[in-house]
Amino acid sequence: QTEIDHPEQLQLGIRCLPVERLSFEVDVVWTRWSRIDGYTVTFDKKFLDVTGFPVGNPGKMSEYFPRDWKDTTQVRFGVEWQVNKILALRGSYFYDPSPIPDTTMDIQWADADKRTFALGMGLNFGRVTVDGVLQYTVTDGKRDIAGESGNLNGSYAGGGGNPAVSLTADGHLWGGGVTVSYSF
């Protein structure tokens, strides 16, 4: 059991229409990740007894995970072309920097800087609209942690010594969505 406060966000955007059916949008999103200094996970005794899951300190029912996350700023770009009264085509891009420093990176919150590209469309049939999106997210190169994460090192300290745990990670993610709306 734990409690994690989601950080505040502030978003500002501007949309311009250089020609009648073409619009461009730029948004800036600031997220206050620094409010998450860390959190404590409390384990249920029955869970520990059944699973034999080790907590960092034997006999302890809770574990503190320092975070020390950094605030981030995203800049998002979007374009929409209203082809006709029915069809709109859309595209977007944004860069999402990771709030997680190398010193507190761990498997629970593996993250890296990301780039996201999306294509979408909208169909307007009067009272019924259908919107669809296809999105691709890729990490900005590989993230290499070479022993500087106290959280990772502490996860493997039970075997004795002072391990310097290394981690290399990258990722690709495809996503899609469809929304159907009806106006009364």
Q: What percentage of the chain's residues is helix, strand, coil (to nearest 5)?
A: 10, 50, 35
What are the helix (H) ranges across 32-171?
45-51, 150-155
16 found inside a domain = yes
- Range from 32-36, 83-87, 174-178 carrying the lowest mean pLDDT: 32-36
34 found inside a domain = no
Domain count, the chain: 1
pLDDT digits (tens, 9 = 90+) for 64-114: 888 889 999 999 999 999 999 999 999 999 999 999 887 787 767 777 889
139 found inside a domain = yes
6 found inside a domain = no
Instruction: Name the residue range of residue 77's domain.
Output: 12-28+71-182
What is the token pair recorded at 71?
């605030």
46 found inside a domain = no
**In this structure, are residues 176 and 117 in contact, taking their beta carbons and an 8 Å threshold?**
no
Residue 153 and residue 103: Cα distance in Å, rounded? 10
42 found inside a domain = no
**In this structure, are residues 114 and 96 in contact, taking their beta carbons and an 8 Å threshold?**
yes
53 found inside a domain = no
Percent of the chain residues past pLDDT 90, beyond the cut: 51
State the pTM of this model: 0.75
pLDDT digits (tens, 9 = 90+) for 122-161: 999 999 999 999 999 998 776 666 656 666 666 655 555 5
Residue 68 exposed, middle or buried by CB count within 10 Å (0-12, 13-18, 19+): middle
What is the token pair recorded at 88?
């709109």
**Amino acid at site 91:** G
What is the token pair recorded at 78?
């979007």
